């Protein structure tokens, strides 16, 4: 029986895939796996039995990845599973940043109970004029699953789209409209664009990338959208620029005390992925990933360990997480040879400092033999 701890609400469409061999819930101890959305695991104590964490979503900044790697805990996410949901909210954000929709709606509420409301509306609406998107320049920082969706949709809206992503994947590039212009650097985005939208993960490199210095490069009246993570933006600098009128509107999915209820700042309660479709997609993908890893040792969509997806061919499968250093495979082979155990199949892949090896055999093996080896982090024998 595998035990799965839920750190957030996860769609039953995914949870139903676990089946009877799993105990799943919020009050689980000594869990084999964790399913999480945005709850922070930075202060969570991982038990020794924990093998995997699946983030039903994209961003993994709520998980201590280095610590997980060090402890042999495989962390998965669900690439692209919520990208359409976020794209749709970004399109909404573009419109909210441009047309004075929120202000207009709030103003109409003040007319409640007035018999001449329709007349007042026609007289007062001129205060809520805002520009169209067509023909304007949109800069996108981060061209992954979401950035590409946004780029393609903005092209269809008639916008001139500039994209910047120094690490763009071949897949993302294949999926992107040929009309998207390749900005060679972030400065081009800052200086050229009327609208700037962020779709890069929170990393050391991206933290605070919207700050006084970058804002100074921007056009007067620029509109900034942040559906990536709050810490990509220095909110003090953004707020100051909004107050000066340099930034016409800041629309974000991430609340912080300083930006709540400020004029020309629209804050949403982290709603990007909150659609039934995306919640189902993410849950399904996360459950499949964690189940596959626990049952077969296969790793698909991990952010900290390499991709290995091999069909089972033998009775026993030895799964070894270890340091990516010379002589590990030789030690495994020698150990098995000394026990007269034949290797039917062996796969080894590395990712950065860590590596993963699957050895298949039809003979009984003793996990302790492998655990005793230096630089082996985690061992499992799956029957
Ligand atoms: N508001 C919400 O509810 C949601 C927010 N997100 C946020 O959006 C981010 C992006 O999500 P996806 O597109 O699904 O991820 P993704 O991994 O498909 O794309 C991220 C892209 O950012 C690029 N990138 C990394 N460092 C960069 C840098 N320094 N400058 C420019 N580009 C850089 C990567 O090369 C990659 O192409 C997530 O990491 C998460 O923080 C994701 C889903 C929902
Ligand atoms: O997938 C992501 O990175 C998100 O930000 C979505 O977060 P959520 O699952 O809605 O808490």
- Residue 321 sits in a domain whose CATH number is 3.30.70.260
Among 215, 248, 267, give the residue marking a domain's end.
267
Residue 359 structural domain: 308-383
Among 259, 284, 305, give the residue marking a domain's end.
305
259-306: per-residue pLDDT in tens? Answer: 999 999 999 999 999 999 999 999 999 999 999 999 999 999 999 999
Looking at the fold, whether 142 and 227 belong to one and the same domain comes out as yes
247-256: per-residue pLDDT in tens? Answer: 999 999 999 9
pLDDT of residue 367: 87
354-376: per-residue pLDDT in tens? Answer: 999 999 999 998 889 999 999 99
Output the CA–CA distances (angstroms, integers) from residue 310 to 285, 297, 336, 341, 345, in the order listed.
Answer: 18, 9, 21, 21, 10
Listing DSSP states for 71-128 in one string gives: TT-EEE--TTTTHHHHHHHHHHHHHHHHS-HHHHHHHHHTTTT-TTHHHHHHHHGGGG
Percent of the chain predicted with pLDDT > 90? 99
145 within ligand 1 shell (Cβ under 6 A)? yes
Centroid of ligand 1 to alpha carbon of 146 (angstroms): 7
User: Which pTM value belongs to this model?
Assistant: 0.96
Distance CA 130, CA 134 (A): 12
57 within ligand 2 shell (Cβ under 6 A)? yes
272 within ligand 2 shell (Cβ under 6 A)? yes
Among 305, 320, 352, give the residue marking a domain's end.
305
What is the interface pTM, i.e. ipTM, of the complex? 0.99
| Most informative mutation of 199, 202, 285 for ligand 1 (most atoms within 8 A of CB) | 199
Report if residue 20 sits inside a domain.
Answer: yes
Report if residue 107 sits inside a domain.
Answer: no
Looking at the fold, whether 212 and 168 belong to one and the same domain comes out as yes
Looking at the fold, whether 225 and 283 belong to one and the same domain comes out as no
Report if residue 122 sits inside a domain.
Answer: no
Q: Which atom of ligand 1 is nearest to the CA of 148?
A: 13
Looking at the fold, whether 317 and 248 belong to one and the same domain comes out as no
Task: Report the domain count for the chain.
Answer: 3
* Protein residue closest via CA to atom 42 of ligand 1: 58
Mean per-residue pLDDT over the chain, rounded: 97
Looking at the fold, whether 243 and 298 belong to one and the same domain comes out as no
Report if residue 26 sits inside a domain.
Answer: yes
Looking at the fold, whether 138 and 247 belong to one and the same domain comes out as yes
Looking at the fold, whether 90 and 234 belong to one and the same domain comes out as yes
Centroid of ligand 1 to alpha carbon of 355 (angstroms): 25
59-96: per-residue pLDDT in tens? Answer: 999 999 999 999 999 999 999 999 999 999 999 999 99
Looking at the fold, whether 92 and 202 belong to one and the same domain comes out as yes
Centroid of ligand 2 to alpha carbon of 253 (angstroms): 10
Percent of the chain predicted with pLDDT > 70? 100
Looking at the fold, whether 338 and 368 belong to one and the same domain comes out as yes
Query: What's 151's domain CATH number?
Result: 3.40.50.720
58 within ligand 2 shell (Cβ under 6 A)? yes
Looking at the fold, whether 24 and 55 belong to one and the same domain comes out as yes
Q: Which atom of ligand 1 is nearest to the CA of 272?
A: 3
Secondary structure letter of residue 47 according to DSSP: P
Report if residue 328 sits inside a domain.
Answer: yes
Report if residue 116 sits inside a domain.
Answer: no
46-59: per-residue pLDDT in tens? Answer: 999 999 999 999 99
Q: Which ligand is nearest to the CA of 83?
A: 1
* Protein residue closest via CA to atom 11 of ligand 2: 38
What is residue 361's three-state secondary structure?
A: strand
Distance CA 308, CA 346 (A): 11
Distance CA 61, CA 270 (A): 15
Cβ–Cβ contacts within 10 Å for residue 6, how many?
19
Report if residue 55 sits inside a domain.
Answer: yes
* Protein residue closest via CA to atom 4 of ligand 1: 272
Looking at the fold, whether 91 and 27 belong to one and the same domain comes out as no
Looking at the fold, whether 94 and 222 belong to one and the same domain comes out as yes
Report if residue 114 sits inside a domain.
Answer: no
């Amino acid at each position: 029986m595998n035990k799965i701890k839920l750190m957030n609400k996860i769609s039953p469409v995914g949870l139903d895939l676990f089946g009877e061999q799993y105990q799943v819930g919020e009050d689980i101890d000594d869990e084999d796996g964790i399913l999480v959305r945005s709850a922070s695991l930075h202060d969570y104590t991982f038990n020794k039995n924990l093998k995997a964490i699946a983030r039903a979503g994209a961003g993994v900044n709520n998980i201590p990845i280095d610590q997980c790697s060090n402890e042999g805990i495989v962390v998965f996410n669900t690439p692209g599973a919520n990208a359409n949901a976020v794209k749709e909210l970004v399109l909404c954000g573009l419109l909210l940043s441009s047309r004075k929709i929120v202000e207009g709606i709030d103003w109409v509420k003040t007319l409640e109970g007035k018999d001449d409301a329709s007349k007042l509306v026609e007289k007062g609406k001129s205060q809520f004029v805002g520009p169209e998107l067509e023909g304007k320049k949109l800069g996108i920082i981060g061209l992954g699953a979401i950035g590409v969706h946004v780029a393609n949709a903005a092209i269809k809206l008639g916008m001139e789209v500039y994209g910047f992503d120094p690490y763009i994947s071949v897949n993302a590039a294949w999926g992107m409209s040929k009309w998207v212009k390749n900005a060679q650097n972030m400065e081009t985005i800052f200086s050229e664009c009327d609208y700037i939208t962020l779709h890069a993960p929170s990393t050391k490199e991206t933290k605070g990338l919207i700050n006084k210095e970058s804002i100074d490069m921007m056009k007067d009246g620029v509109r900034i959208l942040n559906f990536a993570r709050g810490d990509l933006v220095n909110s003090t600098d953004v707020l100051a620029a909004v107050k000066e009128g340099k930034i016409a509107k800041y629309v974000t999915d991430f609340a912080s005390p300083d930006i709540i209820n400020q004029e020309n700042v629209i804050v949403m309660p982290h709603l990007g992925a909150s659609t039934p479709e995306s919640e189902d997609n993410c849950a399904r993908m996360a459950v499949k990933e964690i189940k596959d890893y626990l049952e077969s040792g296969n790793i698909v969509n991990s952010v900290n360990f390499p991709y290995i997806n091999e069909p089972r061919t033998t009775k026993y499968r030895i799964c070894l997480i270890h340091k990516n250093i010379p002589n590990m495979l030789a030690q495994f082979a020698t150990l098995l040879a000394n026990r007269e155990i034949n290797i039917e199949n062996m796969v080894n892949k590395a990712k950065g400092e860590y590596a993963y090896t699957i050895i298949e055999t039809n003979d009984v093996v003793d996990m302790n033999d492998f655990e005793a080896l230096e630089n082996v982090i985690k061992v499992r024998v799956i029957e």
